[in-house]
Chains A and B, each alone.
Chain A
């Protein structure tokens, strides 16, 4: 019997309510948008807190630069824009005006990964972890479900540091109960097991869990599943613990196989002397196939069945 995961809403839907909760108690909270309040489902926020939302227009570089200035004056700034444009159109502003200059802006990349599906590669952000991981003084997060999304926004707000948080717009099932401990920089072990560990981030955590259930039911394998919501700084302890205790590791991410979670894990493991069966599942280095998010996931093997197959083959190689 496969475990049931209760239905949740889109992580995107959690953004507006969380920010409203924060803004109600803190007049310094500011949401800054680039013709993106509709895409960010922030219209209700804008109506309720009309003096805590700043519209910049379609100008992501300006969005990030202005946000840096606002933050330098003590405002608690959430810059919200599609991840594809926010992360790399404004890359130099993120690097210089925010990270290098210590302006603790929270960058919220909406409709991330391939959420925009058939709108095509201009609208995909499959390179944001890679680009932003290389920038010092910036945390990079991809929450998996509604709970992780809310907690990452709330905790980022408490931190006096720059943070990038990206998520999608498809409804996500609930993967945690409300009492789960959530700490930026610490992975969450959702499922125990020591045959293999699947370390996933963002919307890939759910198919990773399905794969684990699948392997348990079909083959009696015990699969550890970790939600590595913080891609940087990576929870190296949890990763190395998995390498100690499991027979292999698979990483899964809605990102290019280059420069993301998988390569971050590989680098840590190898440099700490761990050599074990290891696979990176993500979007390969090619023109991404066209289609909806789920068609793209299917195509590249980011489904419960496909991850299970990769996992099964991985532990069976000697």
Chain B
């Protein structure tokens, strides 16, 4: 997939995730829009995982620790053929497997998440198992910047460097917002790069909406042999829909009919420009 194709996908995925959130009447809109480009790059350009090899012990793993952005993951997994996209019509409905956080009842999902601060520890275990089994797969996990205040992340960060897990990469969706407001006001976590490097990780920064840069950096892991890698992805919460960008109320806001049409219209316009 070329960069231009990724840019087209970025708009298609956004339209789909908005459609399914609107249809379900629930969803974590802002965070899904902020990480959709990251997930797209992972599944389309980085991870060795597909519906064909999903049972293969040697497949790469992706653990979405910020489970609330499940809509973005569902849309990308469907596009990769893990399940038929129309299944998502049932999202959040009675008896549907497509609930508001990832579960392994959905093909393609490795781990049930949704309570923040679990994904990194589980990823450490998966990466450590690869080392013990002398297997070459890689483990990627996506963390929220607000999520990083969960202390468990820092326990996991210590284990990862202690065991020299250079097959593990954590990506931080660094959008600067959480539910209450700016992460810097809720509980400061900056400077993240210095914290991770003090914990024995090698750190890169990336624009989380720049496909060329992400493809290059995501494929450049490990950044240093013997060290886990962390990528601080600078993103915009609500990215792609002007009135959602940087607005905390869209964390789990669902657009009404008018705003939904407005959002779709904006995305269509953008598509015309790049086509």
Chain A positions near chain B (C-beta within 8 angstroms): 33, 35-39, 55-59, 61-62, 84-85, 89, 116-123, 289-292, 295, 299
Contact = CB atoms under 8 A, between A and B. Distances in A.
Contacts of B67: 122
Q: Which of A61, A116, A119, A295 has the most CB of B within 10 A?
A: A119
B112 interface: yes
Interface in B118-164: 146-147, 149-151
A58 B92 CA distance: 25
A126 B248 CA distance: 30
A118 B93 contact: yes
A132 B132 CA distance: 38
Contact of A122 (B115, B151, B178): B115
B93 A58 contact: no
Given A57-B149, A119-B26, A122-B115, 14 more contacts: A33-B180, A35-B149, A38-B179, A58-B149, A62-B151, A117-B92, A118-B92, A118-B93, A120-B112, A122-B114, A123-B101, A290-B92, A290-B94, A295-B94
B99 A59 contact: no
| Interface of chain B, main secondary structure | loop
Nearest to A119: B100
Residue from B96, B178, B179, B180 having most chain A Cβ neighbours under 10 A: B180
B100 A118 contact: yes
Contacts of A35: 146, 149, 178-180, 186
A290 B187 contact: no
B94 A289 contact: yes
A88 to B, nearest CB: 9
Contact of A118 (B99, B112, B146): B99
Contacts, number: 88
B151 A59 contact: yes
Contacts of A121: 103, 112
B113 to A, nearest CB: 7
A55 B187 contact: yes
B94 A39 contact: no
Given A35-B178, A38-B180, A57-B146, A122 B95 contact: no
A58 B152 CA distance: 11
A57 B101 contact: no
A59 B149 contact: yes
Interface string B184-208: 0011000000000000000000000
A292 to B, nearest CB: 7
Contacts of A292: 94
B113 A118 contact: no
Contact of B115 (A85, A289, A290, A291): A85
B97 interface: yes
B117 interface: yes
B116 interface: yes
B7 to A, nearest CB: 32
A176 B149 CA distance: 42
Contacts of B116: 58
Nearest to A37: B180
Contact of A120 (B94, B101, B147, B149): B101
A5 B24 CA distance: 31
B56 to A, nearest CB: 26
